Amino acid sequence: MERRIGFIGAGRIVEVMLKALGPSIGYGNIALWNRTRERADRLAAEFGVEVAPSIAELAERSDWLLLAVKPHAVAEVLSEAALHVGSGSLLVSMAAGVRIEAIKRHFTVPPPVVRIMPNLPMSVGLGMTAVASDASVPKATVDEVVALFSKAGRARAVEERLFDVVTALSGSGPAFAFLFIESLADGAVLNGMARELAYEFAAQTVLGAARIILDSDKHPGELKDVVASPAGTTMAGIHTLERHAFRSIVMDAVDAAAKRSKELAQ
């Protein structure tokens, strides 16, 4: 079923979504509004989508209205959209830390509301998107949202209470992975490899390791044991990582990001 999709906001994540999901939605079914018109016009020229003159008009014409603004701007844009969202429309929020109940308070009669948390790897078709809703949203609608975002990687319905964890794990996680890949490459450069080649080897290695986990039913620890032969190079490296509390450091990073997400939601 074709749906008209409206984006309130035209930031980096919207650009990523237009590239990743636009062909599935149909660029002719997409409109957007942005406070800075120049940015909206640039995306419209690049992707062939429509620019709405106002939030009110965008809301009136959208079957799914995607809220893609910073948390501090949510109240302002919803004050303009609230009276114009159709009774059969779905509001999809990407505003980090803003709870579904907080969004509903802006409406006299709230529409169905879904929260999503996409991530940067969507830009290469390997995204991980979390989808949360409350009891007012039909399962079929949630399934539609999951199906759409699965076209740019993977998507899963999760409880809203897990969104701070999702923010830390899949939202912040790519930055942690980039840092790990950079560190792997630095180790190779330290031992004489050219940096460009080191980045290629490190990135492909991490990509391949991730694919094995996703495609197999084996525990990561079991896969680690396959590589780590007795008294070999891998065990020497693992011993060094463990001596410096590698696992605890990574766990602490995810925990710190989740706690910060909770703080931003208050």
Give the residue carrying structure tokens 């999760």.
158
Contacts 24+ apart (CB under 8 A), 204-211: 206/177, 206/180, 206/181
Query: Of 163, 195, 230, which residue is a domain's last?
Result: 163
Query: Of 163, 188, 219, which residue is a domain's last?
Result: 163
- Residue 193 in any domain: the answer is yes
Residue 214: C-alpha distances to residues 106, 184, 223 (Å): 40, 22, 12
What is the count of structural domains for the chain?
2
Question: 131 and 202, same structural domain?
Answer: no
What does the pLDDT look like over 37-71, one tens digit per residue? Answer: 999 999 999 999 999 999 999 999 999 999 999 98
Return d(Cα 203, Cα 205) in angstroms, integer: 5
Four-residue CA torsion sign, 39, 40, 42, 43? positive
User: Which pLDDT score, from 0 to 100, does residue 177 have?
Assistant: 98
Average pLDDT over residues 95-123: 94
Question: 181 and 105, same structural domain?
Answer: no
CATH number at residue 243: 1.10.3730.10
Query: Of 128, 163, 198, which residue is a domain's last?
Result: 163
Model confidence, pTM: 0.92
Domain extent for 85: 5-163
Question: 183 and 130, same structural domain?
Answer: no
Four-residue CA torsion sign, 39, 71, 158, 106? negative
Cβ atoms of 115 and 67 closer than 8 Å: no
Question: 229 and 156, same structural domain?
Answer: no
- Residue 55 in any domain: the answer is yes
Question: 149 and 67, same structural domain?
Answer: yes
What does the pLDDT look like over 1-30, one tens digit per residue? Answer: 689 999 999 999 999 999 999 999 999 999
Cβ atoms of 95 and 78 closer than 8 Å: no
Backbone angles phi and psi of 70, in degrees to 5:
-65, 150
- Residue 168 in any domain: the answer is no
Question: 134 and 87, same structural domain?
Answer: yes
Predicted confidence band at 266 (pLDDT cuts at 50, 70, 90)?
low
User: Which pLDDT score, from 0 to 100, does residue 1 have?
Assistant: 64
User: Which pLDDT score, from 0 to 100, does residue 2 have?
Assistant: 81
What does the pLDDT look like over 165-219, one tens digit per residue? Answer: 999 999 999 999 999 999 999 999 999 999 999 999 999 999 999 999 999 999 9
Return d(Cα 28, Cα 50) in angstroms, integer: 8
CA 10 vs. chain centroid, Å, equals 15
Return d(Cα 90, Cα 146) in angstroms, integer: 14
Question: 153 and 101, same structural domain?
Answer: yes
User: Would you say residue 155 has pLDDT above 80?
Assistant: yes
The rounded percent of the chain whose pLDDT value lies above 70 is 99
